[in-house]
Amino acid sequence: MDNFVSVYVLTSLYCDSNGDIATRNVGVTFSVHEAEVHRAEGVQNEFEEFRLRTDWREDAETSSLVAAMRHFREIVEEMQRSALQ
């Protein structure tokens, strides 16, 4: 099972105020076909593909668990300090 989704950032070349060629992001799409249409509109257009993980819920749950464990550790450390005083 593929746990990634492709996101395409559409870019375009332009001349900045110094006359230098620069790139600017002009859009985002999940469709490779839309990205290819953008690129076909002119030589100044291009796109970059980024692959993002789709199991973000698992990551969020892991982050919540880690935060809870750290909070519990702080409580135990405080109890230990109190016991030693």
* Residues ≥6 apart with Cβ < 8 Å to 50: 6, 7, 8, 9
Whole-number Cα distances in Å, 57 to 2, 51, 70: 15, 17, 20
Q: Give the start-to-end residue ranges of the domains of the chain.
A: 1-54, 55-85
Q: What are 57-66's pLDDT values in tens digits?
A: 776 777 777 7
> What is the value of pTM for the model shown?
0.61
For residues 14 and 53, the answer to whether their CB atoms sit within 8 Å is: no
For residues 55 and 3, the answer to whether their CB atoms sit within 8 Å is: yes
- The residue ranges of the chain whose pLDDT is under 70 are 1-2, 56, 59
Residue 39: DSSP 8-state: H
Written as six digits, the tokens of 72 are 């519990």
